Amino acid sequence: MSQATQAVGSTVTGTGLTKYYGAVAALDNVNFEFGPGLNAIVGDNGAGKSTLLKILSGVVRPDSGSIAVNGKEVDLKTARDARAVGIESLYQDLALAPTMSICDNIFLGRELTKSYFGVKILDRRAMMAVARNALAEIRIKMPDPATAVRTLSGGQRQAVAVARALHFGARILLLDEPTAALGPRETAAFFDTLRSAVRQDGTVVMVGHNLPQVLQMANRIIVMRAGHVVAKFLPEETSVEKLTGFMVGSAS
C-alpha cells in the first residue's frame, strides 16, 4: 500500500477563526468543516478565502479560534507544522524546478539513497520506479519520469505537484485558484487529477473562481463575503445564480 493510500480521508474543522489586518477583519468568527472529497470556497475579492487557506497552511496565524484535524486540535505556527499533520498547499508556481526531471521534482529534498562501498549515492532506479507508481495513481497520462518539467504543459505540471503531495502523505490538499493560469484543455486535465485524488478519499480544499466548474466538481461549497461564511451548500442544492447572489450580498 502506498503512502498516498494510507494517508487519506481526513477532516479539518475551524472554529471561531478571526484574523485582523489593522482595523480590517479578513476573517470574523469563521466556522467550517471540510471532509473527504472536493471542498470549494467561493467569494468575491476580499472575501477572506485566501486568508483562510493561508491559516490552514500555517503561513498566517489567526488572532483567535482553533483548528482541528480528525477531531484533534492542532497549532499551525508554520508551514512545517501543517505538513506534519498532513496538510499540503499547492500554489500557482507549484514549487517545481523546471530544468529538473519529473522524477527529481517528485523527490526534491527527499531523495532516496543507497550505500555503495560505504558511500551514499542517489538510488535513481528506485526513485524512477516510485515516480512511475505515483503518477499512475493519479491516472493522468504523463511522459516518462525522466522528462524535464520545462517541457510539460501547465496541467501536467499541476499533476506532478499533486502526485508529489499525495505520495509523501498529504491528507489534505489546499489549492488557491489552481486553474487561474491554465487554458481549457489544461484545466480539464487538472480536474481529472483532482478526481483521482478524490477517488482515493482524499480531502481537497480549493478556492475557485469558475462557478460552473465548482458546481460540476465540488462535493460541498462554502460561500464567503467580507470575512464571513454566509452560506454552505451541496452542489445539487444551488446554482451559479444563487452562489453569485450570496457572494455579492443580494441573496440571504
Contacts of 233 (CB under 8 A, 6+ apart): 220, 221, 222, 223, 242, 243
Residue 95 has a pLDDT of 76
Q: What is the per-residue pLDDT across 144-185, written as a single tens digit (0 to 9) for each?
A: 999 999 999 887 888 888 888 878 878 898 988 877 767 777
Q: What is the per-residue pLDDT across 82-112, written as a single tens digit (0 to 9) for each?
A: 989 999 888 666 678 999 999 999 998 888 8
Antiparallel, parallel or unpaired: β 12-21 and 24-34: antiparallel
Contacts of 96 (CB under 8 A, 6+ apart): 105, 149, 157, 160, 161
CA distances from 131 to 104, 139, 148, 217, 221 (A): 9, 13, 13, 27, 33
- Cα–Cα distance between 251 and 229 in angstroms, integer? 13
- Cα–Cα distance between 234 and 250 in angstroms, integer? 20
Least confidently predicted of 21-30, 57-66, 196-205, 240-249: 196-205
Of the candidates 159, 219, 152, which has an alpha carbon nearest to the alpha carbon of residue 188?
159
CA dihedral 50, 51, 52, 54 (to 10 degrees): 90
Mean pLDDT of the chain: 87
Is the model more confident about 200 or about 44? 44
Q: How confident is the model at residue 194 (pLDDT cuts 50, 70, 90)?
A: confident
116 and 201 Cβ atoms separated by less than 8 Å = no
Of the candidates 189, 184, 185, which has an alpha carbon nearest to the alpha carbon of residue 161?
189
Residue 155 has a pLDDT of 78
Residue 92 has a pLDDT of 61
Residue 5 has a pLDDT of 36
Please, what is the end-to-end C-alpha distance for the chain in angstroms?
47
CATH (one of 3.40.50.300, 1.20.1370.20, 3.40.50.2000, 3.30.70.60) for 3-248 = 3.40.50.300
CA distances from 56 to 23, 52, 146 (A): 22, 6, 33
- Cα–Cα distance between 56 and 170 in angstroms, integer? 13
Residue 181 has a pLDDT of 67
198 and 139 Cβ atoms separated by less than 8 Å = no
Domain parsing of the chain, residue ranges = 3-248
C-alpha cell at 101: 526531471
Alpha helices (H) in the chain, listed in sequence order: 3-6, 49-56, 79-84, 102-106, 124-137, 154-167, 184-199, 211-217, 240-248
Q: What is the per-residue pLDDT across 44-61, written as a single tens digit (0 to 9) for each?
A: 999 999 999 999 999 999
